[in-house]
Chains A and B, each alone.
Chain A
């Protein structure tokens, strides 16, 4: 198979775009898609200072790598969740990558900064911890963005992540979530950094290929707590549809953004100051401080 641009040997076929590309032209294609998404959705201005949330996986490392390559001021934050070998490996990959690209990486150890690890939390809470882990990560990212004067937090969510969540939100008619499912969550309070998803229009397969071609050594194992996650099942369903009808995922996502998302937008709720940490929240004390307090109470009872 030949590259559609230059006739050299192709390394990837992109059925959604009906093209095959060689390595240099695929990289150019990928970078242009990300750059266009940044412009189209007004994700960043040249003055923004970005904190990229990096897990050590392909998507977040690609995000950091590309934002720097595109000329943005981008540092990174890695949260060490304390999940035994998985966290050790994730941190090691992230640190090696930071060294390789001469990037400024900040590490937050959950145990040090918050007082518990994720396995500890799972044991205490006794239920699936993915939603709680998301809450903790969002809180820590915002907190560190504020203390470092970053105007934006970038995450590595790709098209497969976004369409899986979109499908789930539609299947369950999560109106509020649908209204907020945008590649840009603007800052609506001076203590909330804006959140952006620059990879929202590239697929997970394209992201993996880009990482491999750029010799980005990422962690390929999934978090042990995500085993059996609904997201993986939804991604599999969407990719079965994509196989039969190439281009479905990008149409589903783009047309939702263009035609439907605004229909679900709700009035912004008023924010108050959390009496414990001082950060803005809709229901004080904030969900993070409530979680911490609940854990401390449980600790007390178990002693």
Chain B
């Protein structure tokens, strides 16, 4: 699946749940939101290899 994060796009192999993607990318779920086709996703949502998702970092520098 294609994952857009921080202005770049990376590719992950296989089907996995949102929480598994975050774990693979070493991201704290408290600091991000995951979006697919303009929809916010909870961490149990199943993602497929053909999916394109965006991970938004929500923490700003103030």
The reply to whether A227 and B61 form a contact with Cβ atoms under 8 Å apart is: yes
**Interface flag for A20 (CB, 8 Å):** yes
Nearest CB in chain A to that of B40: its residue: A11
Nearest CB of chain B from residue A200's CB, rounded to whole Å: 14
Query: What 1/0 flags go to B37-62 for Cβ under 8 Å of A?
Result: 00111111100000000001111111
Q: Does A231 contact B (CB under 8 A)?
A: yes
With a cutoff of 8 Å between Cβ atoms, the chain A residues found around residue B44 in the complex are 1
**Is B24 on the interface with A (CB-CB < 8 A)?**
no
Bound-complex Cα distance A266 to B43 (A): 46
B-facing mask of A236-259, CB < 8 A → 1, else 0? Answer: 100110110000000000000000
A205 contacts B by Cβ under 8 Å: yes
Which residue of chain A lies nearest to B7 when distances are taken between CB atoms in the complex? A221
The reply on A204 being an interface residue by CB < 8 A is yes
Whether A205 touches B58, Cβ cut-off 8 Å, given contacts A11-B40, A20-B42, A212-B40, is yes
Please report the C-alpha to C-alpha distance between residue A213 and residue B30 in the assembled complex, in whole angstroms.
18
| Total cross-chain contacts (CB, 8 A) | 73
Decide: A226 and B40 in contact? CB cutoff 8 A.
no
Q: Is B11 an interface residue (CB 8 A)?
A: no
Closest to B56 in A: A208
**Contact partners of B56 in chain A: CB under 8 A:** 208, 212, 220
Q: Determine whether the beta carbon of A236 is less than 8 Å from that of B59.
A: yes
Q: CB-CB < 8 A to A208: which residues of B?
A: 33, 56, 58
Any chain B CB within 8 A of the CB of A235? yes
**A296 at the binding interface (Cβ < 8 Å):** no
* Cα distance A13–B44 in the bound complex, in angstroms: 10
Residue A110 lies at the interface, judged by CB distance under 8 Å to chain B = no
Q: Evaluate contact between B40 and A231: CB separation under 8 angstroms.
A: no
A243–B61 alpha-carbon span in the complex (Å)? 20
B42 touches which of A10, A205, A231, A235 (Cβ 8 Å): A10
The interface residues of chain B lying within 8 Å CB-to-CB of A10 are 42
Tell me, rounded to whole Å, the shortest Cβ–Cβ distance linking A6 to chain B.
15
> How distant is the Cα of A243 from the Cα of B22 in the complex, in angstroms?
13
Distance in angstroms between the alpha carbons of A212 and B39 in the assembled complex? 9
**A11-B42, A12-B40, A13-B43 known; A212 vs B61 contact (CB < 8 Å):** no
A contact residues vs B (CB 8 Å cutoff): 1, 10-13, 15, 20, 23, 57-59, 160-161, 164, 203-205, 207-209, 212-213, 220, 222-223, 226-227, 229, 231-232, 235-236, 239-240, 242-243
B residues at A contact (CB < 8 Å): 28-33, 35, 39-45, 56-62
Return 13 A-B CB contacts under 8 Å, by A number: A11-B42, A59-B60, A205-B33, A205-B58, A207-B58, A208-B56, A209-B40, A222-B61, A226-B62, A229-B62, A242-B30, A243-B29, A243-B30
12 more CB-based (< 8 A) A-B contacts, given A59-B60, A223-B61, A240-B28? A10-B42, A11-B42, A12-B42, A13-B43, A57-B60, A58-B60, A205-B33, A208-B58, A212-B56, A232-B62, A236-B31, A239-B31
